[in-house]
Structure 1
Amino acid sequence: MSLSPLTFANDPHTLLLGLYHAAVQRALPIHNTAAHLPTPPDPKKGRTLVLGAGKAGGAMAQAVEALWPQDAPLSGLVVTRYGHVPPRHTGLPERIEVVEAAHPVPDAAGLKAAERILELTRGLTAEDLVLCLISGGGSALLTLPAKGLSLEDKQSINRQLLDSGANIAEMNCVRKHLSRIKGGRLAAACAPARVVTLTISDVPGDDPSIIASGPTVPDASTCADALAILQRYAIKAPETILQALQSGKWETPKPGSPVFEAHILQMTATPQQALEAAADAARAMGLNAYILSDEMEGESREVGKVHAALARAAAKGRGPFQKPCVILSGGETTVTIKPQPTGSPRGRGGRAGEFCMGLAQGLQGQLGVWALAADTDGIDGIEDNAGARLGPDSLSRAKALGLKLDIHLQRNDAYTYFAALGDLVVTGPTYTNVNDFRAILIL
């Protein structure tokens, strides 16, 4: 199928938003759970307990409720982010309780939920089934500090890590070793029950030990690793934490531990699958579609500049990408918060917005290039937008409004920049999470 570039140029932003929605739809729990559900236990011998945490937790719980046999007993507790419980449409009775807590910095509601989840594991037998629903965001939502730590200690370290530029694997390594429930400890609490984990990946490489800090899977990282990360990023931590990590006091269950013998893990949705869905949608419209990678990491603005170089080459008819085309990528980039003068307001924005600022800086108004970057959970950082969009006229419109891109980059202030342009992408919570989505349209 061959279409004129004018076909796409009529409304490129709507086209890009459609690709984003295609990616999100592929990752929705109701579309990918049925094939992974285990057989219920004999109700005369055992019960099914559902436990879980993550931004997709509410939707995963609803999918399980809708698909689970109505005559098979089912109960449990799942914690998700505030505002991320989807509307109920099934009309079925609610059998799994869903509660809400804070993300990305944990709060008392998350602490209470984690305590309740751990309490529900008491008395489990080998005849019981524990169905664990795990998705990105679970690290903050499932917070249960190690003995001797306070919630305030965890909040402080979490905030520092978020601002430091540490990647998700590094952050979750620390979180696992400061917790009583993450890093395989939830699985240990469930023993000797049969444990089946259904997980939606939001991390580069789909490593289940990193997703939500792996509460039900073995952890190969060590206390020494966690300590090294704190030192690498100059994270201020109480002496009690440093001493415990130095001594190995808070070590996690390791691969080969007998607590994982009755455990099965099923990956129900991944970033790569979401990107492939977007690529299929683009090809159906006659566009060439190229997936760079679903594992991209690094500083968001710098990743944006690399994408800009590829897009500019394609726009000029050079390089491996043949226009009209869409270049897609995913992964989890980072934003290192830069220190600001005393009294200066803190910038607003997240990874997707920062990527778009770096992309704009690299494109310099290149004709024939449009882009959208958004988080697949519908929230970029802690703001109300999923991300932002760009067009060939973005820099000229910003200049007309007196906006200076370099200043907004220095302040990590993508939200204010794109809000002034009317170019925020606002979707509301999507009820899933397969991390960053980036699409660049080249005509």
Structure 2
Amino acid sequence: MSLRTDAETIMQTAIRASLPDAAVAKALEHKGFGKGKIILVAIGKAAWQMAKTAVGILDGRISAGIVITKYGHSKGALPPLEIWEAGHPVPDENSLKATQRAIELVQGLQEEDTVLFLISGGGSALFEKPLISLQELQSITSDLLASGADIVSMNTIRKRLSSVKGGKFAHLCAPAKVYAIVLSDIIGDPLDMIASGPAYPDSSTCEEALAAIRKFKIQLPADAEQALREETPKALDNVETVITGSVTELAAAGRQAAEKLGYETCLLTTSLNCQAKEAGSFLAAIGRQYASSGKKLAVLAGGETVVHLHGHGKGGRNQEMALAAAEGIAGLDNVAVFSFGSDGTDGPTDAAGGFADGYTKQQLAEQGIAISDVLDQNDAYHALAKTGGLLITGATGTNVNDLSVLLIG
């Protein structure tokens, strides 16, 4: 159980270090807002946490505002802000209603006013006023999620189906200024892709969006295809943007925590971007190589893998990665692999991720379960639940990608 205990310690330490409180405070520390109104709009999985810090710092200066976050991610009232919870990863009616309310709050502002826009991952689903029907958008989003499309490809498409993404929300705020504070959940911190860039000029093109549709074999209704051919804003003159956090900090904090536990560490990358099963197999191969080295090692990789859904099970990319690794480390009594999402939710589950060690395969086999069958059905959640391998944190208040760790005891 020591490897599992170490995994929990590393995970919790990394998440705490990635909370946006200090980053938001730093971004507001020397910011002058003049005498105009301040309207706060916070979107994403970390919206409540970011808004809480801003309200505390700007004590009494915020005229009105709204927090739009995922179901279960609000932690209570934040006067004078309205709190809305909505659908993620697929937008729902509350996404549309909350976004319409945000648009109403920024209407009629003057040049001396400011929209304080707090952006975190998850905003693409939560902040939405579609140019097509909600049902069409939900279908396209679900198809993209199942296709194995990476987040940049998804957002290149989604921003063209929306009247608030791809810089369009900043236009709606004009002539007021927009001060955007962004918590990054995308590798490389592309500001026009995080939450689909509602307040940042779009660097992608219609041709790229159409190419992504072809690549991932997404079927579009005629009105959606027409929307993809409409170009997005390439310049905005009323926006100032500050980026506050990323997977680099999550990985660094995880590495520090492992070192305090006595591990020699190696950070492979903060740009992991491949199929979850492949990443799990790769970490397992490293585990087999060094299991008998006599060293206490922790190998870390930050980023965001993808899952190509072809089964009808329940799970997420981090759970699938851990379970795929279990096949490769089977029988090794000093090796474990765990992976988690910093927001505390992995796919459509209540788990942050998964943990597997050298006994996981045997535990499942004794229950008549083959890992290969589970992976074929994308059902890692139920398999890991049977081995005690689910990592549960609840909503964390941050969202800066995933961290995957190989431990050799």
Shorter chain as denominator, the TM-score bin is over 0.9
Residue range with higher mean Cα deviation, 105-114 or 419-428: 419-428
Residue range with higher mean Cα deviation, 101-110 or 324-333: 324-333
1:221 aligns with 2:201: no
Match of 2:98 among 108, 113, 130: 113
Counterpart residue number, 2:38: 48
Q: How far is the alpha carbon of 1:323 from its aligned partner?
A: 2.7
Letter of the 2:85 partner, please give it.
E
Counterpart residue number, 1:262: 238
Distance 1:73 1:115 in 2: 20
Q: Secondary structure at the match of 1:34?
A: helix
Contact 1:86 1:431 in 2 (8 A): no
Distance 1:323 1:216 in 2: 48
Match of 2:9 among 13, 18, 22: 18
Match of 2:356 among 386, 390, 404: 390
Match of 1:368 among 321, 326, 334: 334
Contact 1:40 1:48 in 2 (8 A): no
Q: How far is the alpha carbon of 1:291 from its aligned partner?
A: 1.3
Distance 2:60 2:106 in 1: 23
Q: How far is the alpha carbon of 1:271 from its aligned partner?
A: 0.7
Letter of the 2:267 partner, please give it.
I
Contact 2:329 2:357 in 1 (8 A): no
Letter of the 1:85 partner, please give it.
S
Residue range with higher mean Cα deviation, 288-297 or 135-144: 288-297
Q: Aligned in 2, Cα 1:286/1:107: closer, same or farther, shift over 3 Å?
A: same
Contact 1:203 1:295 in 2 (8 A): no
Counterpart residue number, 1:172: 155
Letter of the 2:34 partner, please give it.
D
1:137 aligns with 2:122: yes
Contact 2:114 2:177 in 1 (8 A): yes
List per-residue Cα deviations over 1:248-290 (Å, max 9, x = no partner): 3x21111xx2xx2232211111111011011112222222122
Letter of the 1:12 partner, please give it.
L
Counterpart residue number, 1:6: none
Counterpart residue number, 1:337: 309
Contact 1:17 1:372 in 2 (8 A): no
Match of 2:233 among 236, 248, 253: 253
Letter of the 2:269 partner, please give it.
S
Match of 2:299 among 327, 332, 352: 327
Distance 2:68 2:227 in 1: 28
Distance 1:73 1:387 in 2: 37
Letter of the 1:48 partner, please give it.
I
List per-residue Cα deviations over 1:160-209 (Å, max 9, x = no partner): 00000000000011100100001111112222222111111111111111
Q: Aligned in 2, Cα 1:368/1:409: closer, same or farther, shift over 3 Å?
A: same
Counterpart residue number, 1:295: 271
Contact 1:308 1:363 in 2 (8 A): yes
The size of the alignment, in residue pairs, is 408
Q: Secondary structure at the match of 2:282?
A: helix
Counterpart residue number, 1:97: 82
Counterpart residue number, 1:76: 65
Counterpart residue number, 1:200: 183
Match of 2:260 among 277, 284, 300: 284
User: If the length of structure 1 is used for normalisation, what is the TM-score?
Assistant: 0.89
Contact 1:40 1:72 in 2 (8 A): no
Distance 2:345 2:360 in 1: 22
Residue range with higher mean Cα deviation, 29-38 or 275-284: 29-38
Match of 1:424 among 390, 397, 401: 390
Contact 2:318 2:354 in 1 (8 A): yes
Contact 2:120 2:184 in 1 (8 A): yes
Letter of the 2:50 partner, please give it.
M
Q: How far is the alpha carbon of 1:155 from its aligned partner?
A: 0.3
Letter of the 1:415 partner, please give it.
Y
CA RMSD of aligned residues (A): 1.6
Counterpart residue number, 1:161: 144
Contact 1:22 1:274 in 2 (8 A): no
Contact 2:71 2:86 in 1 (8 A): yes
Distance 2:407 2:75 in 1: 31
Query: Unpaired runs of 5+ in structure 1?
Result: 1-9, 341-345
Q: Aligned in 2, Cα 1:74/1:39: closer, same or farther, shift over 3 Å?
A: farther
Letter of the 1:234 partner, please give it.
K
Q: Secondary structure at the match of 2:258?
A: helix
Distance 1:235 1:313 in 2: 40
Match of 2:74 among 67, 85, 89: 85
Contact 1:377 1:429 in 2 (8 A): yes
Distance 2:174 2:295 in 1: 55
Query: Unpaired runs of 5+ in structure 2?
Result: none
Distance 1:309 1:265 in 2: 41
